[in-house]
Amino acid sequence: RYVNHATLNVLKTLPLFREGAYKGGLIAEEHDERIYPYDTLARRVIGYVRELGRIGIEGTYDYELHGTEGVEWRRVTDDRKYIRDFDSTVVKAVDGNDVRTTLNIDFQDIADRALRRQIADDPQIRAGIAVLMEAETGAIRAMVNLSRDTIPGSRLWERDNLVLKEVGEQGSVMKTVTLLSLVEDGHVHSLEETIPTNHGAVPGYNQDSHILDYERQTGRNEITVKHGFEISSNYVFTWLPERYYGDNPQEFFDHIYAYRLGEKFDFDLDGLGTPVVNRPGTAGWSRTTLGTTAYGYGMSVTPLHVVTFYNAIANKGKMMKPYLVESIEKDGKVIKQYGPSVLNNICTRATAVTGALMAVVNDGTAKRLKDAKLSVAGKTGTAQIVLTPKERKGNLDPYHDPWGRKKNQGTFVGFFPADDPRYSVISTVFSKPTSKSFQGGGIPAATVKTLVDYVYTNDPRFRTKLPRK
C-alpha cells in the first residue's frame, strides 16, 4: 500500500523490517507525486503526468517541470550495507523550473462554486463549463470543466477539458457572427433598420414562431434588426444572409475564417478541437446551409473559439490569443516570459454590435443579468446536440430518441462592464437525453451573474473611491 515518508521511517524501526530488504523483507519503492494544494480546483487545466498520458499544463510543460535526477555511486560494506563511494563522482539533482499560470485562484474558486451550485442537484445535466478571460490580453483567469460519469448518481468532477474538446453546434450565440459580418460589409447600417416579417417564413426553412408571436402582439409586419437579435429570431438571421449573401455565400464564410472560427489556433494546452464548417464545396453543403449556419447550426466549434470571438468584440476588434502560461521561473527569477499576442483584427465596428449585445441583457433573452453589479453585454444560445447511434436506438432523427428526448446545450457568452470591457465570460451546460430544455438565459446566465458580482466585489479596479474631505 501507499505510505508517506514518515510512516516508512516508522516501519524501518520495527522488528524484522529493521533488518533491511535482504534479511527482513521490507522493500520500499519510491513513488513521486505532485501535491495539489487546492485539491481538484482547475484539476483538468493544471493536469498531471502518468503512465497513461500527459494532461494539462503539467503534461504540456513537463520538460520544464521535471528537473534532472542526481547520481550517487555507492559501495557495499562487509556487513552488506550500502554507503557512498567517495572515489566516484556525484551528480547533484537539479530542481525543475516553475510554471506561473494566468489563473486567478479566487476567480477560479468562485466560478467553480457558482457552476456547481447551479448544476449539482440536476442529474439530467451531464456537464458544465465556465471561462473568464481578460479582454485586453487574452489571459485566462478561470477555466472550469465539470462533468459526471456515466454511472447514475456520480458526482461532478474535473474529468475532461470540455472547453477545448467539445466541438459542437453552438446555436444562437453564433448569430453575433452573422450580425457582425452584415455590419462590417455595410449591409446593415443601423440596428434600427427594419425588414418584413413574412409570418416568419423563408422558403426552404422552418417557420419561426417568435415572429408569429411578434406579429400577433404588435400588429406589425416589419421588425427591426435589433429586436430580431433581442428575441433571437431564426427568421431574421435567415432572411438577412439569404438576401445579402445568397448569390455569393463564400463572402459570408470568409468572415467565419477571418474570425478564426474555421480552424484551431495555437494554444498552451494540447487537445484544442478542430472546428467543422460546412462551407460551399464541402460534402455538408446544401441549399439551406447558409441560413442554418447564420443562426447557429451547420458549423461546429469549441467553447474556447466562441469566447475568443466575443472577446475580440469586447477588445474593439482586436482578437487576442487566449493563454494560460504567464512565465517560466527558476528560483523566483523569470527565465521565459510569455504574454499577449494578437490572432487577428476582425472588425472596425465592434461598438455597433456591442449595442445589440447590451439589448439582449436589458430587453431580450438574458434579462437575468440585467441587475448584475456590473453592466453585461452578451448573447444566449440553445442548441440541440446530435445523439450517438446508441442514444438514438434506431430513430432516424439525429436529434431525438424514440421517446422524443434530446440533448440540449445552453450557453451565455459576453463581456463586462459593457461600456468599458475588462473581462469576457462564457458558461455552457450540456444535458443528457431529456425532455427538459436548458436555455442559455437560465443556468448559464445565473452562473455568469454570480461570477460578475464576485469580480465587482474583489477586483480593485471596480472599487469606488471615497471622496477626499
Grid cell, residue 359, equals 439589448
Q: Which of 47, 52, 294, 308 is nearest to 180 (CA)?
A: 294
Q: Which residues pair with 125 in a beta bridge?
A: 431
In this prediction, residue 436 carries a pLDDT of: 87
**Is 201 strand, coil or helix?**
coil
pLDDT at position 292 over 90: yes
Higher pLDDT, 241 or 20: 241
- Interval 427-451 mean pLDDT: 93
Q: Which residues contact 430 (CB under 8 A, 6 or more apart)?
A: 125, 126, 127, 128, 147, 162, 166, 385, 407, 408, 409
List pLDDT tens digits, range 15-28. Answer: 999 888 888 888 88
In this prediction, residue 261 carries a pLDDT of: 97
List pLDDT tens digits, range 196-222. Answer: 999 999 999 999 999 999 999 999 999
The mean-pLDDT minimum among 74-88, 284-298, 428-442 falls in 74-88
List pLDDT tens digits, range 346-402. Answer: 998 888 899 999 999 999 999 999 999 999 999 999 998 888 888 888 888 888 999
- Interval 108-136 mean pLDDT: 96
pTM of the model: 0.89
- Interval 296-322 mean pLDDT: 96
Neighbours of 342 (CB within 10 A): 12
List pLDDT tens digits, range 251-280. Answer: 999 999 999 999 999 999 999 999 999 999
Report CA-CA distances (Å) from 75 to 80, 81, 84, 467.
9, 8, 6, 75
Determine what percent of the chain is predicted with pLDDT higher than 90.
Answer: 75
The upper half-sphere exposure of residue 270, i.e. CA atoms within 13 Å in the direction of its Cβ, equals 11
- CA distance linking residue 68 with residue 71, whole number of Å: 10
- Interval 169-191 mean pLDDT: 96
